[in-house]
Structure 1
Amino acid sequence: MAGQFEVTTEIERPIEEVFAFLADGENDPRFSPRVERIAKVTDGPVGVGTVYESTVKDAGVRTRREFRITEFDPPSRIRWTEISENLVRTEEGGYDLEKAGEGITRVRLFNALTGEGVGKLMAGTALNAARADAEDFGRRIKEAVEGGT
């Protein structure tokens, strides 16, 4: 495993609103500029087993990604794993939410990245880029939730 990046941010919205926004993976392009397209490809409400398919662009390269939700515990916890085969992929990612005051939610996002094959050589670079962007990523999540709910 290459390693993990994470960021924590506080959002001025109730925890239930924040959870609903983040649980809908189709909101990802609103705060992640690398996500060009994303769609839920399984039927039914979002929960354990839900799969999202996306197209992302990293360092000028487009890849197709599929993620499966592995844990779904409203309003405090979401976990996912990447099920697509890519050179660098998310082994596990997630959101942890907690109340941080009246109408304020603290959100921790993390992604543990790993490389496959020659991707092991690229995973460290991808991880460093993600870590460098982490604070801005947290700010974009905050702005998207506060401005979009």
Structure 2
Amino acid sequence: MNKLELTETIFAIKKEKQLSWQAIADGIDMSIVWTTSACLGMNSFPKEQAEKLMEFLGLPEESLPVLMEYPTKEWDKSVPQDPLVYRLYEVVGVYGDTLKEVIQEKFGDGIMSAIDFEMDVQKEENPKGDRVILTLNGKFLPYKSW
């Protein structure tokens, strides 16, 4: 079994059992964003969470090393076609340089870590249409001179 096959298995079980990502995350005591990302193969599970996921979903024993395997974090570099993913791509395209300027003005020359990082998704009900609130929280890493 490889990561792609395991991801497909997880999706099939999720659909069969009518589970939400939140229910799966709660079942392994992790955040919804991290759990979903790890189930999609973009993060490796620590052994304890891998075992919890296997028990919660009824995954076969051979899933353990695959869940714990370090991922290669690659993605298709073409413009995304899915409308939601495209809009996030568009946000970075339109506001990426602005965010870079503002972050560097406030913190100095450096980057926001995607390793020492947390992300959250919230829903805000609004009479004009519900709002999506994305929180990206990463440690600032200054560039060093040598």
TM-score, normalised via structure 1 length: 0.25
Higher strand share: 1
Structure whose CA Rg is larger:
2
- TM-score when normalising by structure 2: 0.26
Task: Give the number of the structure with larger relative contact order, counting CA–CA contacts within 8 Å between residues 6 or more apart.
Answer: 1
